[in-house]
Chains A and B, each alone.
Chain A
């Protein structure tokens, strides 16, 4: 399980792309399991009589390693969905979400919320410009009222908070 999105495989050769993929997921898990095993060993396994902090992580990492190693050989290839052109949309969506979090940390909730809603509605939802604009403004303000005014969640301060009664 990687934490970063892999590049979308070319749609032209689904067969070879799929056979590649077939191995990548178990391999990543295997690497994770082995890495965790090594780190757990460094933490100190202790004994069964006096378990160290690394003992339990080592046991579960061992299970992960064993199952993912078995999956390298036993994994049915039909489980995998093909990569499509839509995968690029996902990467764009992820970048948008990451940008939202960064903006949220610096200029508060309302403006990034508006931008996220607007971009998502217009480009992923396929709404008209006007519909996206109206929904995004209304949504950002409504959620600000719910979270900040009604529930008292301390979002980072931003330039428009005073206007909305933070």
Chain B
């Protein structure tokens, strides 16, 4: 199928009235939860997973994708107005966006973020259309050893490029792989780690694990913080940026699009890394870097563009290789698996309506978001009045009812509860739930591919190295480890360099809205942020009159 046939088919799917409704629902929910305190895109997608089983696979992914990139728009609003990132990738926006708001330019900050996100999203969709099919063609020739190498690469990249300590993330990935082995052995049918429980014969349910770790775990964690969000009452005007604003930020938007796209394709690279990279780039390029942190519009436009571009291009590894690039995509991957669709190189030929439909829906969704955001910012801001306690109570109940509905089994409710406790404890102890869930999703594929490879090679581990593709992938893996170690150091340096304030907020973007930001900072970033906390600009933290 040619590119244009594919695109045409995609739009036919995306413009179907039902799917249009779901795109709209997705981007609206995404924006809302981006703004709402205490719920991030990961938790929301986890909560909505049970719902997606009742709808078509293409529609389900269209909905979930809409939530994902929609939250990138929504998260900006709280970053600019309250200096509290609604989701992870908007952390960087707090630097200059909040300063702009203090200068009475909240409108243009939000406007340029929406425009930038739109441009980044659309350009990234174009890149996705051009890059994904050839990549899928290449990947079709992959055999089991390549899949072992690919899944290992995916897990490794997420642990290295993610937000936590690599070693801790790696141990969580190992735990995820171990949890995935519970239940019947895929080849011999022997039961493993079931402890005599019939309910565990099929293993742990992915939905229950994800909902427990991200949904209940988050809610429990937020219970410990009792601070309330302050409602915003200030009116926001002049949302559409002036010509000068556009002129100032057009370069940042263009660079942010490219940067975000490239970083998003790398596993583990979406979201906060892309916005941070863009901020660092803009600051370095600026004639007067001292403006950054004091309300430079490029500091809002670039990162916001980059994070939306990366959230789109992050779909490339999922749709072409079957490797989720980050946690949100791992959840989408899981949603497809339960539907009986295995994302991978065959997706484009076997399920073209999913592949092209999702891509086309992103175009539609970004148009909707632009149309929603410019006029309706004031309405979304009112959402900040919703109290976190009310939201948490309902989210919990919906989680419990939702997980029961997946297989009409109350055992899954206990699984959610147990993983809720684990998720909360992980937050307390600085372990990342992301690698665990990703590894849990990939575990079965990886084991099957590993055992098939062993059968192919007659028990020799050489097969992973001698086959050109898997050997190449393993070489990439080795290169990435080295590179990421370098990058991690540079990233730490970048954090130190770009951080004008004393806080970062959480990487998962759900916490700080109701907590005291300095306390809830994610360990890795928070540690770095602390280096500068005492020396810089402490008056900005204590201006309640502006809120």
Interface positions of A (Cβ within 8 A of B) = 1-6, 21, 25-26, 29, 32-33, 36, 39-40, 43-44, 47-57, 60-61, 63-64, 67-68, 70-71, 74-76, 78-81, 83-84, 86-87, 89-90, 93-94, 97-98, 100-101, 104-105, 109, 113, 116-117, 120-121, 124-127, 135, 139, 143, 147, 151, 153-156
B481 an interface residue at 8 Å Cβ cutoff?
no
B414 an interface residue at 8 Å Cβ cutoff?
yes
Decide if A121 touches B178 in the complex (CB within 8 Å): no
Instruction: Name the residue on B nearest A135 (C-beta).
Output: B390
Q: Indicate the member of B394, B398, B443 with the most A CB atoms within 10 Å.
A: B394
CA–CA, A39 and B526, complex, Å: 39
Q: What is the interface of chain B mostly: helix, strand, loop, or mixed?
A: helix
Q: A49-B454, A71-B168 are in contact. Are A87 and B527 (CB under 8 A)?
A: no
Residues of B within 8 A of A67 (CB): 167, 170-171, 174
Decide if A64 touches B171 in the complex (CB within 8 Å): yes
Decide if A80 touches B430 in the complex (CB within 8 Å): yes
Instruction: Name the residue on A nearest B526 (C-beta).
Output: A78
Q: A43-B192, A79-B430 are in contact. Are A101 and B175 (CB under 8 A)?
A: no
Instruction: Name the residue on B nearest A85 (C-beta).
Output: B224
Decide if A54 touches B192 in the complex (CB within 8 Å): yes
Decide if A127 touches B167 in the complex (CB within 8 Å): no
Interface positions of B (Cβ within 8 A of A) = 54, 164-165, 167-168, 170-171, 174-175, 177-178, 181, 185, 187-188, 190, 192-193, 216, 220, 223-226, 387-390, 392-394, 396-398, 400-401, 404-405, 408, 410, 413-414, 417-418, 420-422, 424-431, 443, 447, 450-451, 454-455, 458-461, 523-524, 526-527
Decide if B171 touches A57 in the complex (CB within 8 Å): no
Instruction: Name the residue on A nearest B444 (C-beta).
Output: A56
Residues of B within 8 A of A48 (CB): 454, 459-461
Q: A1-B425, A64-B175, A81-B427 are in contact. Are A143 and B393 (CB under 8 A)?
A: no
Decide if A71 touches B167 in the complex (CB within 8 Å): yes
CA–CA, A43 and B178, complex, Å: 14
Decide if A32 touches B175 in the complex (CB within 8 Å): yes
Residues of B within 8 A of A75 (CB): 165, 167-168
Known: A43-B190, A153-B408, A156-B410; 4 extra A-B contacts, CB below 8 A, are A36-B178, A60-B443, A117-B393, A153-B404
| 15 A–B contacts, CB within 8 A, in A order | A1-B425, A1-B426, A3-B418, A33-B178, A48-B461, A56-B181, A63-B171, A70-B167, A79-B168, A80-B429, A86-B225, A86-B226, A113-B401, A116-B393, A153-B404
Decide if A57 touches B193 in the complex (CB within 8 Å): yes
Decide if A104 touches B224 in the complex (CB within 8 Å): no
Instruction: Name the residue on B nearest A114 (C-beta).
Output: B397
CA–CA, A155 and B405, complex, Å: 8
CA–CA, A68 and B190, complex, Å: 28
Residues of B within 8 A of A147 (CB): 401, 405
Q: How far is the CB of A29 from chain B (nearest CB, A)?
A: 6
Q: A78-B523, A79-B168, A90-B220 are in contact. Are A5 and B421 (CB under 8 A)?
A: yes
Residues of A within 8 A of B167 (CB): 67, 70-71, 74-75
Q: Indicate the member of B171, B185, B459, B524 with the most A CB atoms within 10 Å.
A: B171
Decide if B413 touches A101 in the complex (CB within 8 Å): yes
Decide if A49 touches B459 in the complex (CB within 8 Å): yes
Among B223, B396, B451, which residue has its beta carbon within 8 angstroms of that of A56?
A: B451
Residues of A within 8 A of B175 (CB): 1, 29, 32, 64
Q: Which 3 A-B pairs have the closest CB atoms?
A: A125-B389, A79-B430, A86-B224
Residues of B within 8 A of A125 (CB): 387-390, 392-393
CA–CA, A66 and B59, complex, Å: 42
Among B165, B387, B427, B454, which residue has its beta carbon within 8 angstroms of that of A51?
A: B454
CA–CA, A81 and B520, complex, Å: 9
Decide if A143 touches B397 in the complex (CB within 8 Å): yes
